[in-house]
Structure 1
Amino acid sequence: MAPTQLYQAVLRDPGRPIWVRLHRVFSAWAQTKGFPSPDAGRPRAEHEHAGARLVMERRDGCGRYVLEEPVDGGRLRTRAVFLDGAPGWVQVTVEQEGDARRDARAPGFVPAYLRTARITDGGIHLVDRAEVLTEDEVHRFLRVLTEPRRRVPVVVVSPGHNGENTARAERLAEATAGAGVVVRLADRRTENLFNRLMGDELGVYGGAIRTYAAPFDPATERSPYRHPPMRPAKLREEGALETIADGVIGRASAADQPPEVRRSLPVVLRVLAGRAEVAALDGAMTPPPAPVDPAREELRRKMMALTVRPAPPMPATSLGPPAAPPVSAEPGPAPAPAPSSSHSPSPAPSSSHSPSPEPVAVLDGSPNPDVAHRVAEMVVKAMRQELDTALGLAAGADTSRDVLREVRTLGLHLAGLRELVVPAAPAGSEDDLRVAHELLREEYAEVVTAARVLQERVRWLERTLAESGHPVYGVATPGEAFTPASLAETLVEARSRLAHLVIGQTDAAAVRLDHADPVLSRTWAAKAWDALLALDDFARARSSGLFAGGFYDWCADGSGGRRVIPPGMLAMRESASVTNSAKFTQPRTFPVPAEVHPSGKIVMEAHVKLRAVGYPAPRMYFHDDSGGVTGKIYVGYLGDHLPNTRTN
């Protein structure tokens, strides 16, 4: 089984050499686990203690410190790889091998290391504890929050009651050190100013905690749900802070590495393994020159030619005297006297064979009004010619001629689209389309939420009518329907409310989906919550003997006000190509109690399709033991589509 990554951070360190400070804090942390103090003068030190193993090695300008320790039937590996530079970098990762679930959090040496210098993520200062923000510092903090080079999330903690959020902020700062920044608003005045500058949809109020992803600009932000808040009521539930920390660390881990780190990390590992010389580190972070593609260069040259205008012809009256002949080392004949200007011959008219003037670039910044039209025309013509040529090779039958006619018709349609798009599309239209797309997605999510509320009321009315046997008027309406803002929040709510479900270790997969598309994740979360409610309602009925069929039958019938989901969302079996392959059944194997299966795990085939097609295509896998010993349903996975024959 591949190891599970619990933490990753890339720390930019301007101080050289890095190893002196990193060696000190890493070895001090290892000593708390029973290891002796490593000798800083040795380039490599290796120790073992109580089944754990410590390796600290370095060569000129780079190094790697690794601690492996046994935990919960598996192993936990903490690694710090570094390279000196201007600035240098340290990559810290924590990986776990084994099935036991562990919360993601920063290794114990990271806060101490952050105190040794001004460590950054490449854009903002990373600190080892929660910063307290006063009213006078709000404007400065907004510059930090909107820094375009910022890579890590920023958690803003609003004032709570009786100082409860002070302790929460410190716990979050310790858990996310290096992978995020935690800021606590000092008082209500600070909170009011911060929210006034952020706007209603992007603020944090009344004891809530909000995570601001990178990049961020409140003036242009169109998707507030990219920056999920957690309400005070949720914060009081068990595991709430761990959910926030998982989200922060997950976002930091999912971010692409800086290009210079991505280039130089393999070089560092080869040097440490002895497969490359130390000299290979020189310039390892410098990007290599991009190779020149002749075809692209030719296309670029043609396109650039369209962006220039011919130089205006110089009038005859502006012609100056001829340039003086070059001075020769040998004496030549004396030049004839120049004729007077009144008898100067007129310039010879240009013939049809004379070369046309070369295009001269427009340097005054004035736009060429025809450039967009001409570029589009070139693209359409090139596309049409290539299609005609490719299909013309297969011509020879009537059907081929028909296809060619259709392709030529398509070319005319493309030309018509060019005429519509090029003149009418002003600067920034692509941004406008993107904004409109995001707004439509948000509106869709709101419609889904409103529909869920109405469906909840209909279910309640149907159930009440079924129980009473006659119409009911004047009774209390059902309570406010829970509307999850994320898949992670759905899992937290399900664990606390749904007694007939057991939710497995799937938080990390759910958080990854929340970060992949924060807008659509609201819709997926709503569907997942409906499915969990239906599963819980079904398990309650079946375990008590009120229903004897399976979950598909429960949903297909849908009578009596029961909670159901559309049967089209259900797949109770996997295909034979999946079930007959260990490569595909292993990712679908999840833990269950020994009463359900003696091995403590089982292959779960039944799943809910939260999105039928597309990417991502979230799935929720479950095992039904509601009619068995435990009387419960076990949800093993909620996340992106698991691998199958189509994805591999």
Structure 2
Amino acid sequence: MGNGRYRTVFHTALSPADAFAAARQELRSWLITKSVRQKIDIAAYDAGHAQLGDGIVLLRDSRTDGDGTQTSNWQLREHKDNGYWLSSLVVHAPGKIASQEERTWFWLDVEHVRKGDDGEIGPPSPAALPNLARKLLAMVDARDHWAELRPTPTIIRPDRVEELLEILTDERRRLPVVVASPHPRILFDTWKKTIDNVTRFLPGLASLYVMDPLAIEDFNRAVGFAFEVRSGGVRTYLPDLDLAIDEDAVRHRVLSGARIEADVRRSAQLLTAIPRQLSADGRLPEPLSRLTRGTFASRAARSTAAESPAIPSYDFSILIQENVAIRGENGELRELLELAGYEERKLRENTADLQDDMIGTAAELETANQKIAELVDWVRVLRQRLASAGRAADAYVPTDTPTLLPTQLPEVLTRLKELDRVEFTGDDDPVWRLEEKAQSSTWAQTTWLVALALQDYAEAVVGHRFNGDFRRWCTEPPSGASAISAGKVKTDESESVQNNQKMRRLRILPVPAEVEPTGRIYMGAHIRIGGGAGMSAPRLHFYDDARGTGKIYIGYLGPHLPVKTTN
């Protein structure tokens, strides 16, 4: 879903004059900082010129509508990295405001537009957190309704727990709230520095809080067991939180303190992924919903041309210069049209992916609901029979070993050590890439159910109780055995993939030397993880050596590997 864009949108209580002044001041400060690494003419900026350097253009536009609404826009274009970087800052002061706290709105986008040798727009480089965002958040009292947006996490003392609870359950909150708990074995000030580090990519994308050790128990009692965070963990509370519905807790992910200690860099990436996607792809708030960056930039380009001095018709040298300038402006407008076309294509692709996921998820939900109904009927009949046999008390005894499904994919890799017939031999980087997606908790649960089914299958093969392959096992599972939908299991890739050396090589994956002396073997057998039937659904590739070493080896878990239809 994400296209590499960084976006932050927030409101302030600043007057329009103060908001516009703050934007100009911080934009100038940002350009000065950038000029250390590249030639940017600050004097040209101060004079209001568009050209600030070689390949660096700043378009500006301001307008006041009849109802008193004021809007200013700055759009900086820097040609580099096989394309150009586009940074757009909009400050908007509605004529009619919802409250004094929402007098002015700030909207900052930074993204890369990559252009290939053929002129086509390609996949962008991801934008880092811009220093301009940090500067603005430090300068103004930025808010997401009641939530504070700060460059670093805010400490919540006992007297502010109630305020944080109101922020969490605020129906008008648009952005996630990230709450970090104190670590039981690490001094608070030391752990606070770790939390600052692990949340360093989140300013502007979420409101950030770290609980004081004296406040954490009050907070956890208030939110309840299902929604608590403790032991150094960090929890991301998404919008539309309802603390009264325990089943909703799975949406609000927890990153454990142990995982943060083990790998701060990856933990920072995990924490950032969903807030960044929600911010980049989410709807703009109503006061900004009618604004578009393309309209601003094209109007700014036209106004720049209109402000050019009149040139006498007989001065051909100046006419030539003016013609060159107009061509440059036309080039800027063409690039804006290219960007609009690129965004439209991305929107169509994202819509298609969502449609694919929705159809697949709906089908899986229907299957799961039917299975649940059958199990409920089965349990009811068994309880009736036990009651008829005079053993009614036995009918309600809980199971000795309840199945606890993991909610994070890295946790699945850890828990595979509990299974003696299933081993993960692949690279965990693709697994972490999946963890950045919104559906990752569902994928983690599905993957664990797949692992349990592979375990039962391998046990049956080793014990000479089953002679078929894993797909047949899932088609006709023995009574009481773990299995998955046989439709998810493919015993090999298509012929086009098998016969394509480049794509086949991608499926030659690690195994122990006792399986294959070279340490790598072709794994065409794979299982679809998730609801989508197309490229959007992740894949698990495995090698069945149950009749050899007695194990199933998972060589890959991650996004769909390339096929001929992959662009």
Distance 2:477 2:178 in 1: 43
Conservation of the 8 A alpha-carbon contact between 2:92 and 2:288: no
Q: State the partner residue of 1:249.
A: 276
Map 1:229-628 to 2 at 5 A.
229-238=254-263, 239-265=266-292, 266-274=294-302, 483-487=405-409, 490=412, 499-503=424-428, 505=430, 507=432, 510-514=435-439, 521-522=441-442, 524-531=443-450, 567-572=486-491, 607-611=526-530, 619-621=537-539
Cα-to-partner distance string for 1:96-154 (whole Å, 9 max, x where unaligned): 86999988852233212211212223553311111111111111222222232211111
Distance 1:216 1:121 in 2: 15
What is the deviation of 1:20?
A: 0.7
Cα-to-partner distance string for 1:72-97 (whole Å, 9 max, x where unaligned): xx778462331432413323234586
Q: Note closer, same or farther for the CA distance 1:65–1:531 as it changes in structure 2 (3 Å cut).
A: farther
Three-state SS of the structure 2 residue aligned to 1:112 is helix
Conservation of the 8 A alpha-carbon contact between 1:3 and 1:96: no
Q: Note closer, same or farther for the CA distance 1:101–1:509 as it changes in structure 2 (3 Å cut).
A: farther
**More divergent stretch after superposition (114-123 vs 89-98):** 89-98
Map 1:190-205 to 2 at 5 A.
190-205=215-230
TM-score, structure 2 as length reference? 0.57
Cα-to-partner distance string for 1:199-254 (whole Å, 9 max, x where unaligned): 12112122221111112242467511121112223323322232122233233334
What is the deviation of 1:507?
A: 4.8
Highest Rg: 1 or 2? Answer: 1
Q: Given the alignment, which residue of 86, 90, 112 partners 1:82?
A: 90
Q: State the partner residue of 2:53.
A: 47
Distance 2:454 2:5 in 1: 30
Conservation of the 8 A alpha-carbon contact between 1:504 and 1:635: no
Three-state SS of the structure 2 residue aligned to 1:274 is helix
Distance 2:262 2:539 in 1: 25
Conservation of the 8 A alpha-carbon contact between 2:59 and 2:297: no
Distance 2:57 2:508 in 1: 38
Conservation of the 8 A alpha-carbon contact between 1:619 and 1:638: yes
Distance 1:492 1:24 in 2: 49
Q: Note closer, same or farther for the CA distance 1:531–1:174 as it changes in structure 2 (3 Å cut).
A: same
Conservation of the 8 A alpha-carbon contact between 2:535 and 2:560: no
Three-state SS of the structure 1 residue aligned to 2:182 is coil
What is the deviation of 1:179?
A: 0.3
Q: Note closer, same or farther for the CA distance 1:571–1:79 as it changes in structure 2 (3 Å cut).
A: farther
Distance 2:457 2:126 in 1: 31
Cα-to-partner distance string for 1:348-390 (whole Å, 9 max, x where unaligned): xxxxxxxxxxxxxxxxxxxxxxxxxxxxxxxxxxxxxxxxxxx
What is the deviation of 1:3?
A: 8.6
Q: Note closer, same or farther for the CA distance 1:6–1:64 as it changes in structure 2 (3 Å cut).
A: closer
Conservation of the 8 A alpha-carbon contact between 1:16 and 1:85: no
Q: State the partner residue of 1:371.
A: none
Q: Given the alignment, which residue of 205, 208, 212 partners 1:182?
A: 208
Distance 1:107 1:493 in 2: 38
Q: State the partner residue of 2:148.
A: 125
Task: Find out whether 1:109 has 2:132 as its counterpart.
Answer: yes
Q: Note closer, same or farther for the CA distance 1:196–1:623 as it changes in structure 2 (3 Å cut).
A: closer
Q: State the partner residue of 2:20.
A: 16
Three-state SS of the structure 1 residue aligned to 2:139 is coil
Distance 1:3 1:245 in 2: 12
Task: Find out whether 1:166 has 2:88 as its counterpart.
Answer: no
Identity %: 18
1:58 maps to a residue whose letter is: R
Conservation of the 8 A alpha-carbon contact between 2:73 and 2:90: yes
Distance 1:7 1:267 in 2: 20
Q: State the partner residue of 2:73.
A: 62
Task: Find out whether 1:141 has 2:164 as its counterpart.
Answer: yes
Conservation of the 8 A alpha-carbon contact between 2:529 and 2:539: no
What is the deviation of 1:170?
A: 0.7
Three-state SS of the structure 2 residue aligned to 1:502 is coil
1:502 maps to a residue whose letter is: D
Q: Note closer, same or farther for the CA distance 1:191–1:229 as it changes in structure 2 (3 Å cut).
A: same
Q: State the partner residue of 1:153.
A: 176
Q: Note closer, same or farther for the CA distance 1:116–1:592 as it changes in structure 2 (3 Å cut).
A: farther
Distance 2:249 2:239 in 1: 12
Distance 1:606 1:232 in 2: 36
Conservation of the 8 A alpha-carbon contact between 2:22 and 2:139: no
Cα-to-partner distance string for 1:455-491 (whole Å, 9 max, x where unaligned): xxxxxxxxxxxxxxxxxxxxxxx99987321457557
Residues matched between the structures, number: 419
Distance 1:503 1:525 in 2: 14
Q: Note closer, same or farther for the CA distance 1:219–1:568 as it changes in structure 2 (3 Å cut).
A: closer
Three-state SS of the structure 2 residue aligned to 1:176 is coil
Cα root mean square deviation, aligned: 5.6
Q: State the partner residue of 1:318.
A: none
Distance 1:112 1:3 in 2: 24
Cα-to-partner distance string for 1:29-68 (whole Å, 9 max, x where unaligned): 42354444533223423435xxxx6443212222212446
Which structure 2 residue ranges, 5 or more long, are not aligned?
63-71, 95-103, 117-121, 307-364, 377-399, 459-467, 512-522, 546-552
2:192 maps to a residue whose letter is: T
Task: Find out whether 1:228 has 2:248 as its counterpart.
Answer: no
Q: Given the alignment, which residue of 230, 237, 241 partners 1:216?
A: 241
Q: Note closer, same or farther for the CA distance 1:591–1:155 as it changes in structure 2 (3 Å cut).
A: farther
Conservation of the 8 A alpha-carbon contact between 1:105 and 1:176: no
**More divergent stretch after superposition (261-270 vs 530-539):** 530-539
Distance 2:452 2:80 in 1: 40
Conservation of the 8 A alpha-carbon contact between 2:112 and 2:126: no
